[in-house]
Amino acid sequence: MARSDLSINAFLENGSSRIPVCVRYVSKYSLLIRSLEHPIFAYGSDSFNLIIQNNGNRLELGPCRIVSEPHDDEYSGHLIFLSDVYDMHSLLFEDKVVKLQGAFCDLPAILERKDNIRQSFKEYTANLTYDLTVYKNLFDHIDSKYQEEPEAIRDSIQKALIKTEGQKFKRFLDQKLNELELLVADFSQEEHQRHGFYFRKQLWNFLLCSPLMARTNLKPRGYSGDSEIMRMIYLNDYQGESTFSKLLNKHGVEHTAAQSVRNRVALIVQKLLNFQKSPNKFSIDKLKILSLGCGPAFEIREILRSSNDCNKYHFALLDQDPIALSEAARLIQDIEYKLNTKTNVDYIQGSVRTMIFSKSLEQKWGQFHFIYSMGLFDYLTNPVASAVIKKIYQLLKPGGEMVVGNFHVSNPSKYYMEYWCDWVLYLRTEEEFRDLIGDDSSANVSVIFENTGSQMFLHIKKQVDS
């Protein structure tokens, strides 16, 4: 029954009375209605059932009521639901029956989850909640004291607070993270998931104070680590609506894992520049570069710093997220405007599934001299990661190089990311990471680390054909 237009014929039933009507989408939880036979309805008093034919089946939605509101066309009122409230957008455009109250179906199971939480963890979470409440109330109270000051004075006062008491608060968070690590070190993967869910439910209002943590938890694009998250991490600044929010956010974006994200940009850029300057056997004008899971491609700002640089490379930027590709395109446009030149960039919207199951990637994309991926493999299981890395290795020209990143099992921020941010990664050892490429005799493989040691990279060189 999925509709491409806005209206559909249906029936209203009231006892034995059956009235043919036309309903039109007007908002997510209401419809406009007009009668096909009876010109007048009794507004507000009668309760009806709305009957819609859904793929040949009778779908009864009710009880509902007609509320009179003035309209400029033939529709004479709103139809609103009195008991079960239905999502009309899902019904009319996606052919899905979704009730607003549907989320409560899982409520008993959610409430029961707390019964399987270790008592020591409950005590830790309760104490942390109390402490954060005290800190937040105190910072908010102090903020209120100077809100009437001119903007420049407010900024100066807030910076003084951040420089003094704010640093003590960040040390408090460090201490609590150390306690968390000791507390959950022996948890199974299932226990981590269960206790992390409990933890976030308890701290939810605090997590929403930090723009970083709010986004990783809410996942507006369906996943953590999207291009907006990367932007926040690269910015590494005090962001938020209050002093408490700014401090909480800054603590997250300056933690070890976040610093490693900034470090990996420098690492990739340096590896590419070294490759470009090295004596190689490529007698070509431009090196073809593939960025896998490119995101917003911030690193290209560090690669294309002059118009001469733009003449050295032909980039292919691949990501499954069209928003990320759009952001990358705007970044490239900004570079072109600043340098008054043009670049060679292809934008490819594709997923891991595309790479694994396509039999003609080389025909579609060609081969590349240099391939890199900074964050994709953190989200892939071993079988999928191995399949992907072997696929893209086939796209590497003989004599070319690949640099592929993954967080190491020793990542000091892993519990911070999992418990506070609901950001779970596939962490690997060096041996597990090496095993992804297999025993290809043409590959010269080494493992390197960025400066924090949190992230490692497979540096793969493909031998020149003999």
**Residue 2 Cα distances to 20, 96, 134, 300, 388, angstroms:** 20, 8, 51, 43, 36
Which pLDDT belongs to residue 55? 67
Which structure tokens are listed for 280?
Answer: 């190689």
Buried b (16+ CB within 10 A) or exposed e, 152-161: eeeeebbeeb
* pLDDT tens readout for residues 213-237: 999 999 999 889 999 999 999 999 9
CATH class of the domain at 7-108: mainly beta
- Reduce the DSSP state of residue 394 to 3 states and report it: helix
CA distance 35 to 77: 10
pLDDT for 111 beyond 90 = no
CA distance 76 to 138: 54
CA distance 101 to 337: 51
Q: Looking at residues 320-348, what average pLDDT do you find?
A: 95
CA distance 372 to 458: 10
Going by pLDDT thresholds of 50, 70 and 90, the confidence category of residue 325 is very high
CA distance 140 to 161: 12
User: Is domain 258-462 in CATH 3.40.50.150, yes or no?
Assistant: yes
Going by pLDDT thresholds of 50, 70 and 90, the confidence category of residue 457 is very high
Which pLDDT belongs to residue 251? 98
Which structure tokens are listed for 166?
Answer: 């704010």
Which pLDDT belongs to residue 3? 46
pLDDT for 164 beyond 70 = yes
Closest C-alpha to 455, from 392, 404, 382, 389: 404
Check: CB of residue 194 under 8 Å from CB of residue 201. no
Going by pLDDT thresholds of 50, 70 and 90, the confidence category of residue 131 is very high
Closest C-alpha to 170, from 263, 235, 244: 244
Check: CB of residue 438 under 8 Å from CB of residue 386. yes
CA distance 195 to 96: 33
- Reduce the DSSP state of residue 401 to 3 states and report it: strand
The domain ranges of the chain are 7-108, 117-254, 258-462
Check: CB of residue 69 under 8 Å from CB of residue 55. no
pLDDT for 434 beyond 90 = yes
Check: CB of residue 352 under 8 Å from CB of residue 384. yes
Q: Where are the beta strands (DSSP E) in 215-312?
A: 287-292
pLDDT for 456 beyond 60 = yes
Which pLDDT belongs to residue 70? 53
Which structure tokens are listed for 403?
Answer: 């640099």
Closest C-alpha to 378, from 217, 287, 260: 260
Q: What are phi and psi of 143, to 5 degrees?
A: -55, -40
* CA geometry: angle 301, 307, 311, nearest 5 deg: 95
Which carries the bigger pLDDT value, residue 366 or residue 173? 173
pLDDT for 2 beyond 70 = no
CA distance 204 to 359: 45
Ranking 28-32, 212-216, 312-316, 416-420 by mean pLDDT, the lowest is 28-32
pLDDT for 466 beyond 50 = no
Give the H or E element holding residue 130: helix 119-145
Which pLDDT belongs to residue 282? 66
Going by pLDDT thresholds of 50, 70 and 90, the confidence category of residue 97 is confident
* pLDDT tens readout for residues 253-286: 999 999 999 999 999 999 999 998 887 656 677 8
Q: Looking at residues 360-377, what average pLDDT do you find?
A: 92
Going by pLDDT thresholds of 50, 70 and 90, the confidence category of residue 72 is low
What global pTM score does this model have?
0.82
Which structure tokens are listed for 180?
Answer: 């968390």
Share of the chain above pLDDT 70, in %: 93
